[in-house]
Amino acid sequence: MAAVEETRTTFVAPPASRTPRWLKPTGRILTIVLIGALFAFPLYWVVTMSFKPLPEWNPPGKVYWWPDNPTLENYEKILGISSGEQSVFATGRSRSAVEFLVNSVVAAIGGTILALIVGIFTAYGIARFRAGGRMLPFQILQLRMFPPIAIIIPLLFFYVEIGLWNKEYFGWFNLGLIVLYGAVTFPFVVWLMRSFFQEVPREISEAAIVDGCTQWGAFFKAVLPQVKGGLAATALFVFILNWSDFLIAKVMTQDNNSTAPVYLQSLQGGASGNEYGLQAALACILIIPPAVFGLLIQRYLVRGLTFGAIKR
Amino acid sequence: MEAHTEELKARQAPARRLPDFGGRQEKSVARTLVAPGQLLMAFIVLFPAAIAIYIGFTSWGPTTGVDFWHAYEFWHWFDGYWEALTTVAFWEAMWRTVLITVVCVAVEFLLGFGLALLLLKNFKGRGLVVVFFLLPMMVVPAVSGFIFFMIYQLDGPLNEALDLLFGVGPVNWLQNADIAIWSVMVVDIWQWAPLMFLIFLSGLAALPEDQMNQARILGASFYHQLRYLVIPMMKPILLIALIIRAIEAFKIFDAIYLLTQGGPGNATENISLYLFDETSANTRWGYASSVAIIVLILVSVIGYWAIRPIEQAQEETLEELTGAELAADVAAEQRVEEAIEAEARV
């Protein structure tokens, strides 16, 4: 303490900064830019790749850092606007990913709705009535710890047995996938919605009951409107999780019934060689919904990914 | 008459609910509320576990030509478990899973913490930079695997950049058995270090300003501030971030599958890929079930302890909320009682 310098003891209003002195602003900015560039490069690469024509994809001995002849061809092919017969890698396989994207959208939305319906009630029961005792919330959390493949293998046998495996009703409604997506993301709904329900004062539902509502009426008319924002954030968050799935769709579906990420993987290697441009176009399409929704629910992202343990 | 009883009930409501949240009606409502959730949990945990236990005792598979219900014809008790525990491939997959988890989480932790320290001080455009670091988290894991697949190609941008900057010859990032596993880890680090960063950034911003300033004015070095102030105060947050990332890193599948499919050989095969291979490529469903049960038991045992800190954090916020609520309830209760007494005296 004796070594404290004169200038420091006369320090009146310390600046708000907590940054150490040795990190001079320029060095700091440079480090941030460098790390930022490293983190940005993969995204830069996939976006530019999606605009590159075939000769610039991955020719031996030359790297195209920028698309020299930018083209929308990849997107047109992947969205089925033009057929890709001119490609030297052309195969008999359908090149349009529209069918797979439709499957992805249906399964992700269906799974989200199922998880929400079941999860909201469970969350309210836990938050408001401590239903299921103290253990239930943690059983639900533990569910997230199991590697999904370990659970999906037995369910695969079951699905094969009852004919749900790789089964699409009406050509687009994959019931088996939707049920699994709902079950797998259900814990997130419970944890997120529980943290939102806890923020609603108990008096609100009690006032509704005093005014003549039943418990259910109080829930739907008084409590639920209070958590509208949280509900929307939860829905988008769960949609992102379902949209991002690869493993479950890979195990549970095949060929034309699978989802877009599985199709992306099937374009890799094999008889047709790597179709980087097409894959990149599909990859960019796959990135857009989560990126948009993720930015919309930025505030709740950390809460969601940490099961409500960390609130911002 | 009906209306009258309703009114009475309403007046009695506070007394009925005070110590526990009992009340017959509330209990039945609560049970109904959680019943569908419990059903879904049973479907996703108990039901598959039961099937896996049954099939795990057999050597049944789709190639045996017998259907699911007759799997008992291939009953062999613990042979599947014994095989798993004595197979090198299984233990190697376990070891790789642990290695990937430890390395990824450690690097993500350091990178995230460093970035959070760098970005703590406000500057122009900081919000934009934070949003920018959000993006990798949003990328579909399979897609991030594919992106790095392109980058790692022999003629790809990474080798080209290394050649331009350092003159290093091309590295076979995905086909060299010694390198591939590290290449795979980079993908997870790229994608999830930002989550650590976000968590720590909000944690650092929430530190009490006065104490930090005091420490600095009294001449505490950066290291000492970190060692004796920042880390102890942020311990719960650090712990939760580590545990949550470890849980997820343990389960990695998508990115590895897109990058190497577990190859070359099985140099990048973690437990998820091992299970997948046994199921789909080898169609040894009985054996895969035994392995799945072993993994489930292991995870349950580890998870029992790992969940504790998360549980605590959630209980604390819960107590904060319900504690305040209870105090308010008690106060309201007393006021009502006083009013009733006053009325009775009149």
DSSP H or E segment with residue A110? helix A98-129
pLDDT tens digit sequence for A41-89: 999 999 999 999 988 888 887 888 989 989 888 898 888 876 655 544 4
Average pLDDT score over chain A? 83
Q: What is the pLDDT of residue A139?
A: 76
Write out chain B residues lying below 8 Å of A36, CB-based.
129, 132-133
% of chain A surpassing 70 pLDDT: 85
Write out chain A residues lying below 8 Å of B144, CB-based.
42
A and B: number of Cβ contacts within 8 A: 345
Closest CA to B333 of B42, B98, B18: B18
Q: Going residue by residue through chain B (346 aa), what tens digit of pLDDT does each one get?
A: 444 544 444 444 444 443 334 456 777 888 888 899 989 888 888 899 999 999 999 998 888 878 888 888 888 889 889 999 999 999 999 999 999 999 999 999 999 999 998 888 777 778 888 888 889 999 999 999 999 999 998 888 999 999 999 888 788 999 899 999 999 999 999 999 999 998 898 888 888 888 888 888 888 888 888 888 888 888 888 888 898 899 889 999 999 999 998 878 889 999 999 999 999 888 889 999 999 999 999 988 888 887 777 777 766 765 665 555 556 666 666 666 777 777 676 6
Any A CB within 8 A of B66 CB: no
CA B50 to chain CA centroid, nearest Å: 24
Q: What is the pLDDT of residue B5?
A: 47
Scan residues 232-261 of B and list those with Cβ closer than 8 Å to A: 237, 240-241, 244, 247, 250-251, 253-254, 257-258
Q: What is the pLDDT of residue B30?
A: 85
Structure tokens, B156: 């790809």
CA distance A305 to B210: 30
Q: What is the pLDDT of residue B20?
A: 39
Q: What is the pLDDT of residue A272?
A: 57
Please give the average per-residue pLDDT across A11-19, as a whole number: 51
Q: CB within 8 A of B173, min separation 6: which ones?
A: B152, B158, B159, B179, B180, B183
Subunit contact B237:A310, Cβ cutoff 8 A? yes
Subunit contact A137:B314, Cβ cutoff 8 A? yes
Q: What is the pLDDT of residue B331?
A: 66
pLDDT tens digit sequence for A89-115: 444 445 688 889 999 999 999 999 999
Subunit contact B33:A122, Cβ cutoff 8 A? yes
Subunit contact A145:B247, Cβ cutoff 8 A? yes
Subunit contact A261:B118, Cβ cutoff 8 A? no
Residue A168 pLDDT more than 60? yes
CA distance A264 to A279: 6
Q: Which residues does residue A173 pair with via DSSP β-bridges, in sequence order?
A: A169
Least confident piece of the model among A27-31, A245-249, B139-143: A27-31
Subunit contact A215:B29, Cβ cutoff 8 A? yes
Among B251, B257, B321, beta carbon nearest to A198: B321
Per the listing, tokens 């590697």 go with A147
Coil, helix or strand at residue A173: strand
Residue A229 pLDDT more than 60? yes
Any B CB within 8 A of A265 CB: yes
Write out chain B residues lying below 8 Å of A199, CB-based.
321
Per the listing, tokens 């009925």 go with B16
Residue among B41, B229, B319 with most chain A CBs within 10 A, to mutate: B41
State how far residue A171 is from chain B, nearest Cα, in angstroms.
24
Q: Which residue of A has its CA nearest to B206?
A: A312
Please give the average per-residue pLDDT across A266-278, as a whole number: 76
Helices (H), chain B: 2-17, 24-41, 47-56, 79-86, 88-118, 126-138, 141-151, 157-166, 177-205, 209-217, 222-225, 231-250, 254-259, 271-276, 285-306, 308-345
Write out chain A residues lying below 8 Å of B317, CB-based.
195, 198, 308, 311
CA distance A156 to B290: 15
Q: What is the pLDDT of residue B22?
A: 42
Q: Is residue B30 a contact partner of residue A129, using CB atoms and an 8 Å limit? A: yes
Any B CB within 8 A of A6 CB: no
Task: Report ipTM (2 d.p.).
Answer: 0.86
Scan residues 70-109 of B and list those with Cβ closer than 8 Å to A: none
Judged on CB neighbours under 10 Å (0-12, 13-18, 19+), A96 is: middle
Residue among A64, A149, A188, A298 with most chain B CBs within 10 A, to mutate: A149
Any A CB within 8 A of B194 CB: yes
Q: What is the pLDDT of residue A177?
A: 93
Residue A13 pLDDT more than 70? no
Coil, helix or strand at residue B334: helix
Q: What is the pLDDT of residue B2?
A: 44
Total-model pTM: 0.85
Scan residues 66-85 of A and list those with Cβ closer than 8 Å to B: none
Q: What is the pLDDT of residue B319?
A: 61
Any B CB within 8 A of A120 CB: no
The larger pLDDT score, comparing residue A38 to residue A145, is at A38
Residue A125 pLDDT more than 60? yes
Residue A7 pLDDT more than 50? no
